[in-house]
């Protein structure tokens, strides 16, 4: 299987904002995009994106998971970055049209079609460091994918980073390229120095999220994860897993979790930890690295509750369990 996100469908849906309105959506080649080298996005990072998935069911239908949530976040990111406002209905139609066009290419589970709506500032204006772009472009890329973390049964090694931050506090809930660039250096360093898979950012000891996923601690029948605030991304998978956990009768605690409490709980043999995200789904964390020490989470293996929650989520996505929350949109 090719690396996640490296194979693209040959066409994408695209629409341009000219300063007053959005052009009708078109399907165009996804191989290239013409931009002025002075485009606002290329200098001042006026860009946001989304990540969601379409799934093939046994009856042949194609179903998109929680599109409304992703559209809401896309609109919010655009607004908080002072990009032109998107029209959620028009963007939804772009997504549906693009997925319908390539419905035959949606892989069977555990694969899916990853959908990447993108919004960029296009105004050729290199003097606008402190002013918003007047024009922009939205496009919907499609990429058939398998598992993000190859080998679903392995567990991750996370470095607990208490000093650095993933991104500026007020940017955390915006899904914007600059945040990923900002997190890259500490992640590369942790990979190189400690063979860590990811960095779990814990500014001032407050357990937050990794570079591309939310963090969940599972202690017996309780899930503990940071309460929503503007400092980190409000993951759709996080919300889905917490909802499923509540449905299963688990206790969900959305609150501050300190590094000290995390390490104390992780030492219990039945404790589990996982990363949640559209790409990661729910992936077990086996080891925490902190101040030169290595700590196993529980027994260090893939947690049984983690597997149960992941399966319950997949069952809904794959059409094997009833979609009681109305999370799927049939294409
Ligand atoms: C920084 C960050 N946090 C969390 C998530 C999880 O969000 P979601 O579950 O909506 O994919 C992502 C994206 O996948 C992310 O990039």
Alpha helices in the chain (DSSP H): 40-44, 67-80, 88-101, 177-194, 236-247, 259-266, 304-317
Q: Which residues contact 207 (CB under 8 A, 6 or more apart)?
A: 160, 200, 215, 217, 226, 257, 258, 259, 262
Tell me the best of 171, 173, 214 to mutate to test the pocket of ligand 1, counting ligand atoms within 8 Å of each CB and taking the most: 214
pLDDT digits (tens, 9 = 90+) for 193-248: 999 999 999 999 999 999 999 999 999 999 999 999 999 999 999 999 999 999 99
Distance (angstroms) between ligand 1 centre and the Cα of 138 equals: 20
Ligand 1, atom 4, lies closest to the CA of 213
Q: Looking at residue 111, what DSSP letter applies?
A: -
Q: Are 161 and 200 in contact (CB under 8 A)?
A: yes
Cα–Cα distance measured from residue 142 to residue 53, given in angstroms and rounded to the nearest whole number: 9
Cα–Cα distance measured from residue 105 to residue 10, given in angstroms and rounded to the nearest whole number: 11
* pTM tops 0.85: yes
Q: Where are the beta strands (DSSP E) in the chain?
A: 11-17, 26-29, 47-49, 52-56, 62-65, 112-121, 136-145, 156-161, 198-201, 214-219, 222-225, 251-254, 271-277, 281-290, 293-296, 328-330
List the structure tokens of 107.
Answer: 């892989």
Q: Are 93 and 154 in contact (CB under 8 A)?
A: no
pLDDT in the model for residue 152? 58
**Of residues 284, 280, 277, 276, the one with CA closest to residue 301:** 284
Ligand 1, atom 16, lies closest to the CA of 212
Residues in the ligand 1 pocket, defined by CB under 6 Å: 51, 209, 212-214, 233, 235-238, 276-279
Distance (angstroms) between ligand 1 centre and the Cα of 297 equals: 22
List the structure tokens of 300.
Answer: 């260090």
Distance (angstroms) between ligand 1 centre and the Cα of 175 equals: 8
pLDDT in the model for residue 153? 72
Tell me the best of 203, 213, 216 to mutate to test the pocket of ligand 1, counting ligand atoms within 8 Å of each CB and taking the most: 213
Q: Are 190 and 199 in contact (CB under 8 A)?
A: yes
Distance (angstroms) between ligand 1 centre and the Cα of 167 equals: 14
pLDDT in the model for residue 80? 97
**Of residues 235, 174, 232, the one with CA closest to residue 208:** 232
- Domains detected in the chain: 11-145 (3.30.470.10), 156-318 (3.20.10.10)
pLDDT in the model for residue 2? 84
Q: Are 60 and 67 in contact (CB under 8 A)?
A: no
- 302-328 burial: b if 16+ Cβ within 10 Å, else e: bbebbbbbbebbbebbbbeeeeeeebb
pLDDT in the model for residue 67? 98
Ligand 1 atom with the shortest distance to the CA of 179: 1
List the structure tokens of 283.
Answer: 């992936």
- Segments of the chain scoring below 70 in pLDDT: 148-152
pLDDT in the model for residue 151? 54
Cα–Cα distance measured from residue 217 to residue 203, given in angstroms and rounded to the nearest whole number: 17
Distance (angstroms) between ligand 1 centre and the Cα of 225 equals: 14
Q: Are 121 and 161 in contact (CB under 8 A)?
A: no
Question: Per DSSP, what are the bridge partners of residue 206?
Answer: 258
User: Strand pairing of 112-121 and 47-49?
Assistant: antiparallel
List the structure tokens of 232.
Answer: 């980190």
């Amino acid at each position: 299987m090719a690396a996640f996100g490296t194979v693209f469908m040959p066409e994408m849906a695209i629409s341009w904002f000219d300063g007053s309105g959005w052009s009708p959506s078109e399907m165009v080649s996804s191989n290239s995009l013409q931009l002025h080298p002075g485009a606002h996005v290329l200098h001042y990072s006026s860009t946001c994106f989304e990540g969601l998935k379409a799934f093939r069911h046994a009856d042949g239908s194609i179903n998109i998971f929680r599109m409304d949530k992703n559209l809401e976040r896309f609109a919010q990111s655009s607004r908080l970055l002072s990009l032109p406002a998107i029209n959620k209905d028009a963007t939804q139609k772009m997504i549906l049209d693009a997925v319908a066009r390539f419905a035959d290419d949606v892989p069977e589970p555990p694969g899916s079609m990853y959908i990447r709506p993108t919004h960029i500032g296009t105004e050729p204006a290199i003097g606008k460091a402190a002013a918003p772009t007047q024009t922009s472009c939205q496009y919907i890329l499609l990429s058939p994918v398998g598992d993000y973390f190859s080998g679903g049964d392995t567990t991750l090694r996370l470095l607990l980073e208490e000093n650095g931050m993933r991104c500026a506090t007020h940017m955390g809930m915006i899904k914007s390229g600059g945040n990923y660039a900002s997190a890259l250096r500490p992640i590369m360093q942790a990979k190189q120095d400690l063979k860590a898979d990811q960095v779990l950012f814990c500014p001032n000891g407050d357990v937050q999220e990794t570079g591309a996923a939310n963090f969940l601690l599972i202690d017996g029948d309780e899930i503990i994860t940071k309460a929503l605030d503007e400092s980190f991304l409000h993951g759709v998978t996080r919300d889905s897993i917490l909802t499923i956990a509540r449905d299963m009768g688990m206790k969900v605690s959305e609150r501050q979790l300190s590094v000290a409490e995390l390490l104390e709980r992780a030492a219990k043999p039945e404790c589990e930890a996982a990363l949640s995200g559209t790409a990661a789904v729910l992936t077990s964390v086996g080891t925490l690295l902190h101040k030169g020490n290595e700590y196993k989470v529980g027994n260090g293996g893939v947690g049984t509750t983690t597997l149960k929650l992941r399966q319950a989520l997949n069952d809904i996505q794959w059409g094997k369990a009833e979609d009681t929350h109305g999370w799927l949109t049939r294409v």
